[in-house]
A and B are shown apart, each in its own frame.
Chain A
Amino acid sequence: MAQMMMREAILETIRAEMRRDPKVMMLGEDLVGGMGTAGGPEAIGGIWSTSTGLWEEFGSNRVVDTPISESAIIGSAAGAALAGKRPIAELMFADFVGVCMDQIWNQIAKFRYMFGGKSKCPVTIRLVYGAGFNAAPQHSQAVYSMLTSMPGLKVVLPSTPADAKGLLTQAIRDDDPVLFFEHKALYGVKGEVPDGDYAIPFGHARQVRSGEHVTIVTCGMMVSVCERAADSLAQEGISCDVLDMRTTSPLDEEAILDSVEMTGRVVLVDESPPRCSVASDVAAMIANKAFAALKAPPQLVTAPHSPVPFARELESAYLPSPPKVIDAVRAALAYR
């Protein structure tokens, strides 16, 4: 066991996988940093410090620092994967998925299917997402709801360093395309990370708090928001069963429904705006499959139907927070 930040867990995982399998390669902007400049390579060590030192160890063929060309980056990852490699492509900000969406949506997601199951595209796309750093509308979005809806893709959101290591290991080894979402505000969060090699299977939610009055379903950055809300409510004798989905595609329906059948009340917490979001999707699934168990309508705590605002007060009003989650839990309990 070691205490480390999520970014360190990610870096260590990539390094370990690249050592283990010579087919693993990386592509992305400023993965190395400083290429073609007076400051020389590694002048910044990778923008999110998740690729520090990898180029020195593995060289230019396997660590490809790219121009600013999202379509080319993701498209190359796709082509390299079809040709037999296991590329890890980084999108510096998840919001840039708009620039290269065709390569993800029409290409990578569909290769295996439209080629009759005779190809595989084991690409892992790492996206840096989320609000909380006043990065403004075009650099703060959650994005994963849209990608969850696309058949052919798997969508993963680690919430702790330990989960980041296990889930990224699984992603790189998975022969299907994986979108791996790293929240920028979680990079610096420390946690215990087990030593050794382990992969966490997809579609396997993590139980974060154990309770019997209300179920809370969430993922990513919102997990810690829900933990704080649950701990505060526990002081009042209200116990919440908090589930971290970990992967929105595939979804651990069984864990969610088991919990809702026990509590009869559920709160979905999601950093995305509500329309066609993961929160709405899971709420509908619960209403469809566990209606008889529900004692109150599913409560949604989401961002509003707006872009992410810049100013501190606005962004803070935009995001779900522990008080908002607590209110939702109370609303679920108050329903009669």
Chain B
Amino acid sequence: MQLSRDQLLQAYRRMATIRAFEERLHDEIAKGEIAGFTHLYAGQEAAAVGICEHLADDDFIVSTHRGHGHCLAKGVDVKGMMQEIYGRATGTCKGKGGSMHIADVDKGMLGANGIVGAGAPQAVGAALSCKMDGQGKVAIAFSGDGACNQGTTFEAMNMAVVTKAPCIFVFENNHYSEHTGPAYATATSTDIAGRAEAFGMKAWRANGCDFFDTYDTMRELLDYVRAGNGPAAIELDTERFYGHFEGDPQRYRGEGELDRIRAERDCLLAFRKKVTEAKLLEDGDLDAVDAETSALIDAAVDEARTAPPPTPDMVLQDVYISY
């Protein structure tokens, strides 16, 4: 591990922020104040952070409906996001998009997307733009064990290979595509990355619940792609702690499964264990981060609750730049 103390704290802070953000949303949504559909990322933090810690603002990511983690990992403002989810005029998207469509193009976050698989070709396009610029920048398409079956994913992979686009296909296999398991729905469920390899692309695999495994694997992958070798893929084995959407009763879970994955596959606990055992950080350091994160989320929710709602005249704004 070549990460500095600051980098370690930063990584932990990112993951803790995501965890706190999602856990808090789970509670708030149950109270009924938040409209629409929300899909929580809690449990998969290591995947988002392990990847995005390598990226700059001019590297691009395209996310899915379960996008809060990717947004936060890429540096999108926490309070702006909370306000957006609460549907406020001061939200990141002025209350126009909501949870599923948060974007911050200036930070290279080209949008969470409500259509499964739609992001993959968009990431290829962003990668083509990077290729034109020739600065070694990349574009990353996040998808899952569900999106890997969508036609757009295949088209995107093929196109990325033939155009040698610096595009990275990330398959976060959290073992559920909506309410169905990949063993049923995904023909090569034990090896999704193999699909990318079938298109002639190099693919890596890593443990998506272990920050360090993800981070180290990504370093190698990114060196490869930034060097101009064309696209690559990575399959991350991970878990989501909540349902497909908030309100999902999760009857498809096995007996004691949720408890087990919280106990055995919690990336924050794993991170803490590793860094404290290796004497890189102490519990106190991490606890302090937890406390600050918690306070930040509290403040975010309080501000979101009192932020101004959008007004009816805003319905027609921003349909076009000029019409």
Interfacial residues, chain A to chain B (CB-CB below 8 A): 25, 27, 60-62, 64, 66-67, 69, 71-85, 87, 102-103, 106-107, 110-120, 151-152, 154, 175-176, 203, 250
Contact = CB atoms under 8 A, between A and B. Distances in A.
Contact of A77 (B106, B125, B156): B125
A75 B129 contact: no
Given A79-B60, A102-B152, 11 more contacts: A25-B128, A61-B132, A69-B159, A72-B152, A79-B122, A80-B129, A84-B129, A106-B114, A114-B96, A116-B318, A176-B323
Interface string B4-34: 0000000000000000000000000000000
A203 to B, nearest CB: 8
Contact of B125 (A76, A113, A151, A203): A76
Contacts of B163: 60, 64, 66
Contacts of B46: none
Contacts of A79: 60, 62, 110, 121-129, 139
Interface stretch (B87-95, B178-186, B244-252): B87-95
11 contacts: A60-B163, A71-B121, A73-B121, A75-B120, A80-B129, A103-B118, A112-B318, A112-B320, A116-B95, A116-B97, A175-B322
B115 A71 contact: no
Interface string B67-106: 0000000000000000010000001111111000101111
Contacts of B321: 112, 120, 175-176
| Interface-central residue, A62, A72, A250, by most chain B CB under 10 Å | A72
Contacts of A84: 129
Contacts of A76: 121-122, 124-125, 128, 156, 159
A246 to B, nearest CB: 15
Nearest to A79: B125
Contacts of A27: 128
Contacts of B151: 71
B125 A117 contact: no
Interface in B288-323: 317-323
B65 interface: no
A110 B96 CA distance: 10
Contacts of A102: 115, 118, 152
B50 interface: no
B83 to A, nearest CB: 11
B104 A72 contact: no
B265 interface: no
A287 to B, nearest CB: 23
A79 B84 CA distance: 23
B308 to A, nearest CB: 14
B258 to A, nearest CB: 32
B282 interface: no
B217 interface: no
Contacts of A203: 323
B319 A78 contact: no
B263 interface: no
B227 interface: no
Contacts of A152: 319-320
Nearest to B103: A115
A27 B121 CA distance: 13
A119 B96 CA distance: 13
Contacts of B122: 75-76, 78-79, 82, 103, 107
B240 interface: no
The 8 closest A-B CB pairs, nearest first, are A75-B121, A79-B125, A76-B125, A79-B122, A117-B318, A116-B93, A116-B94, A72-B155
Contact of A75 (B97, B105, B124, B130): B124
Nearest to B164: A60
A183 to B, nearest CB: 25
B44 interface: no
A72 B158 contact: yes
B111 interface: yes
Contacts of B115: 102, 106-107
A75 B96 contact: no
B93 A114 contact: yes
A113 B96 contact: yes
B35 interface: no
A113 B319 contact: yes
A243 B120 CA distance: 43
A75 B106 CA distance: 20
Contacts of A74: 121
B159 A72 contact: yes
Contact of A116 (B92, B118, B121, B323): B92
B94 A117 contact: yes
Contact of B101 (A66, A67, A78, A114): A114
Contacts of A110: 101
B319 A115 contact: no
Given A67-B162, A106-B115, A118-B104, A82 B126 contact: yes
Given A116-B96, A118-B105, A75 B152 contact: yes
Given A76-B121, A76-B128, A82-B122, A71 B105 contact: no
A221 B101 CA distance: 39
B173 interface: no
Contact of B111 (A64, A67, A69, A115): A115
A119 B158 contact: no
A27 B155 CA distance: 14
A96 to B, nearest CB: 13
Contacts of A78: 121-122, 125
A251 to B, nearest CB: 10
Contact of A112 (B126, B158, B319): B319
A75 B125 CA distance: 7
Interface centre among B97, B156, B320 (most CB of A within 10 A): B320
B113 interface: yes
Given A83-B129, A115-B103, A72 B318 contact: no
A25 B126 CA distance: 12
B320 A115 contact: no
